[in-house]
Amino acid sequence: MSTARSTTPWLAELRALLGPGGYLDQPDELEPFLGDWRHLYRGSTPMVALPATTAEVAGVVRVCAEHRVPIVPHGGNTSYCGGATPRESGVELVLGLRRLNRIRELDVDNYSVTAEAGCVLARLQAASEEAGRYFPMSLGSEGSCTIGGNLSTNAGGTAVLRYGMMRDLVLGLEVVLPDGRVLDQLRSLRKDNTGYDLKQLFIGAEGSLGVITAACLKLFPRPAAYATAIAGLRSVADAVTLLGRLRDAVGDAVVTFELIPAGAMELVARHVEAVQLPFEAAPPCSVLMELALPAPDSDLATRLEALLEQALLSGLLTDAVIADSLARRDNLWKLRESIPEAQTREGASLKHDISLPTSALPGFMTDAAPLVDSIIPGARLIAYGHLGDGNLHFNVSPPVGMEATAFLERGPALKRAVHDLVASRGGSFSAEHGIGRLKVGELERYENPVALSLMRQLKQSLDPLGIMNPGKVLA
């Protein structure tokens, strides 16, 4: 790897372009950019460029295009698939977007906000809230993930059922193309049929077609009434039935419907302090549900309670607890949001980020559980998450007492079996965490060949030099 103060021409050009404070090139400064959050990859880079304006990003990309230097865009570094980590060659530039972080405009009457890529999600949520509006993207990592990363991975989270994924929240986009031109489609229109919808190409592309520098995003009325509850059920099939009943009764007020299996409750109980478990004995499945309405509505909780009571009486539920205070609501959310941390503390795990039509989830789970057991006898299946939109984090912890290495060796066989089953049911092996570097082979294996060839054509035509995040998304 070339080290600090290298005389490589492109490094010298970038230093001159960005000036002091506009880049990092000392080993200790580079360190945080070399590995991904899950510790799957560790790469190398001679420099992290930190442009503060779109013009500077364009300048950096032009220098890189001229010298054929690969660029790895980098936001809050919370990727699950290694999309923001440089590879091992030591010749890739990391393009950090964190200084490009202004909220350019918040249009209250248009219910829209224009923010730069490096803006942290929680900051955007807070600014919207202060203006009496609501930005609904909600993720465990919202305190550190950035808008650019959310867009580049098409993030999901816990409110997709009501508000959709990141791509559904976008009105306009600004992108620096691989040749340094700026594609300015930063419109704030809800209706705009002027030709192809180019912005959608860059959302979920993980920086492989260009660098997203800013976006105009939809805002919503701020919820004023919440009702939150957790219900115990016997099966995923019963949970899907409950979701239907809820939606029939209160429609779009259902924002969150998250599955918490017994195994996840046990992990949280073991590893996360200060979370109170809602039930004495964890039922096979629990569902955390939240309803929200923009107008104050003291009735909402009463309606939810009545619905759950009815479901209890009809035998659909085995138990239910309504959060009757803010502290109890926070506790239920903490229970849900602590699952990934609890599973990490438990030790090794094998993760799959799958989605299916919600109606297909019960059948899938019935077949998938014995499949897991046939590949790793005694393994603990912890399939949790966004049941309301069909996305489960189908994660597996080792049988108690099994060595991590022996367990992880079974990972490829398990992945193949799980993804094959998902594919056979019309599902996706990449629901909300992206492809990154981790799932490039899976995309090749499962994507429709016509779609894959179109993706390659698009990549070739937009990035003929192949400098935009090479090795991510496409091989």
- Quick check: 140 binds ligand MLT (CB under 6 A)? yes
- Closer CB to ligand MLT, 87 or 439, in the complex: 439
Cβ pair 202, 174 in contact under 8 A: no
Cβ pair 373, 245 in contact under 8 A: no
- Closer CB to ligand MLT, 14 or 239, in the complex: 239
In a 13 Å sphere around the CA of 22, the CA atoms on its Cβ side amount to 17
Q: Which of residues 352-381 bind ligand MLT (CB under 6 A)?
A: none
The site map against ligand MLT for 311-340 (x = CB under 6 A) is -----------------------------x
- Closer CB to ligand MLT, 95 or 418, in the complex: 418
- Smallest distance, Å, CB 339 to ligand MLT? 6
Options 176-184, 295-303, 377-385, 404-412: segment touching Zn ion (CB under 5 A): 377-385
- Smallest distance, Å, CB 140 to ligand MLT? 5
- Quick check: 436 binds ligand MLT (CB under 6 A)? no
Q: What is the CA radius of gyration of the chain?
A: 23
- Closer CB to Zn ion, 259 or 292, in the complex: 259
- Smallest distance, Å, CB 141 to ligand MLT? 8
Cβ pair 391, 316 in contact under 8 A: no
- 343 phi and psi angles, rounded to 5 deg: -70, -35
The site map against ligand MLT for 389-428 (x = CB under 6 A) is ----x-----------------------------------
- Closer CB to ligand MLT, 61 or 268, in the complex: 268
- How many other β-carbons are positioned within 10 Å of the β-carbon of residue 217? 25
Angle, CA 388 vertex, CA 387 and CA 389 arms, to 5°: 90
Residues whose CB falls within 8 Å of the CB of residue 460, separated by 6 or more in sequence, listed in order: none
Report the SS3 class of residue 385.
Answer: strand
Q: How many residues does the chain have?
A: 475
The site map against ligand MLT for 281-310 (x = CB under 6 A) is ------------------------------
- Smallest distance, Å, CB 395 to ligand MLT? 6
- Closer CB to Zn ion, 45 or 391, in the complex: 391
- Smallest distance, Å, CB 139 to ligand MLT? 7
- Closer CB to ligand MLT, 390 or 470, in the complex: 390
Binding-site ranges for ligand MLT (CB under 6 A): 140, 340, 385, 393
